[in-house]
Each structure stands twice: as structure tokens, then as C-alpha cells.
Amino acid sequence: VSDASGCSMIAVLHTGAAKFPQNLLSRSRQAVSLLFPAGVLKGFSSIVSRKLASHGFGASMAAMSSFPPQRYHYFLVLDFEATCDKPQIHPQEIIEFPILKLNGRTMEIESTFHMYVQPVVHPQLTPFCTELTGIIQGMVDGQPSLQQVLERVDEWMAKEGLLDPSVKSIFVTCGDWDLKVMLPGQCQYLGLPVADYFKQWINLKKAYSFAMGSWPKNGLLDMNKGLNLQHIGRPHSGIDDCKNIANIMKTLAHRGFIFKQTSKPF
């Protein structure tokens, strides 16, 4: 029941219970129970719950209570796609740069960074590369260089509060290639510095093997199969691979797994 301002009288009785004299409170509750059958009140409670959930309260509380807390406030899921061919071309260049910001308490995606990158040494994508990644020439032509994308990553990290020393975050990749080989190798070739936040990460393959007791030889496909998860999107799409990584992490976290850094310090 609502008054002209939209305030529920039932809500008032619940939230203001501490302020009511006991005899008045008891009589008010009796009056409400006579006016409204139990089913109506139950329905009202359901509406309130949905309203809270729509603002993130219900989902967050349920998620936080369903698995143990992680060591990090945020996980930054990353999966590069790069120029490639058979035989392999050198140097390889990053052409897709996606990051998902995963909340360490709820394991839900809070923010996304996603850009395509213009290759400069081998600007023309090979047919093999397009077939593997689904990235066509028009998706990289005219896009920012790696240096410009790295600058935008830093701006995004700052905007998301990830550069605050009190906020613990770590990158997560499917394997060590992205941050041990690809990014430092291309930055060295181009004479670019590598930000410190790229120098520690969690290899999801190692985390999965610790949690499940088996090594995923085929990467995401094996991990999804081992956890009975449906594969999301297209294999070797950077942004889709990130979504699969996030889904696997969420599933492992709900099983009680605590993620730890797997990379060795630089």
C-alpha cells in the first residue's frame, strides 16, 4: 500500500519497527494481516527483493556468501590476438587488446576495455590470421598503434581505480604467452616500456590444474569441458576468450578455489 509520495505503509511498519511502541506495533501488524492475505505480503517481499537485486544488492550478497573471499579485489582478464601465419611471421604484433575487470568478491564483470590495434611491421593481415582469429583487415586499418593503446589502457586503469596502491589487482591469462612473451617482446622491438602491472599474472591453466588435478592440454576447450561449461563465442576471438576465462574463474571460485599469482617476479 502506498501513499501519495509512493512510500509503502508495509515498508514503514518494517523499517520503523524500532520506533513504534510495542502495543501500537502489535496492533498495526494485526491490522495489516487482516487487510492483506499472507500471499500478498509474500509477493510484496518478492518485489522488494527484485528491486534490491536490480541495484546489485541481492546478487552481490548472494555471491559473497557463496564462496570464500579471494586475495585480490579485482582480476583483470586479458587475452591478446596477434599477427600470425604458417610458417610464423616475426615479429608478431598485437592486433586485439581486450581486458575484463572481474570483481574479486562477486566474480562478476564490472568493466571492459577492448581495442583493436594497427600492426606496423606487417600491416597486412594474412588469410591464416583472419581465419584463425576472425579479425579482418578493416578491423585493424586506421586503429591506434600499440603505444597509443597502452596509453589508453593506463587511462582506463586509472579511471577504474586500479592504480590505487590500496587496491589489489592482478592480470589473468590463459597461459604465460601473453605477458611473458608477446607484450614484452613487442615492446622491446618498438622501444616501449612495460608497465609494472603487466609484470605479474595468474596463468589460468596452472590454476585449473591446481584446482582440478589435470592439465588442460587444449586450453579453454578442455577447461570448459572439465567444468561442464558451454563455450562462449568464437575460439581465438580475444574478447570471447576473455569471457570464457572469466566464466571458468567464477566456476572455480564457487567451488572454493582461491586464486594465487603463478608468474615469477621479473
Q: What positions carry a catalytic annotation?
A: 81, 236
The helix (run of H) or strand (run of E) holding residue 115 is strand 109-116
The Cβ of residue 251 has, within 10 Å, a number of other Cβ atoms equal to 18
- Give, in order, the Cα–Cα distances in Å from 166 to each of 72, 80, 127, 163, 210: 11, 28, 46, 9, 28
**Phi-psi category of residue 203: left, alpha or beta, with phi > 0 → left and psi -120 to 50 → alpha:** beta
Angle at 185 (CA atoms; ends 182, 189), nearest 5 degrees: 135
Kindly give, in sequence order, each residue whose CB lies less than 8 Å from that of residue 220, ignoring residues fewer than 6 positions away. 174, 231, 235, 241, 244, 245, 248
Per-residue b or e along 24-39, where b marks 16 or more CB atoms closer than 10 Å to that residue's CB? eeeebeeeeeeeeeee
Confirm if 113 and 99 have CB atoms less than 8 A apart: yes
C-alpha 186/C-alpha 190 separation (Å) is 6
Amino acid at 208: Y
User: Rounded to the nearest 5°, which phi and psi values hold at 198?
Assistant: -90, 0
Q: Among all chains, which residue has been given the C-alpha cell 581465419? A: 131
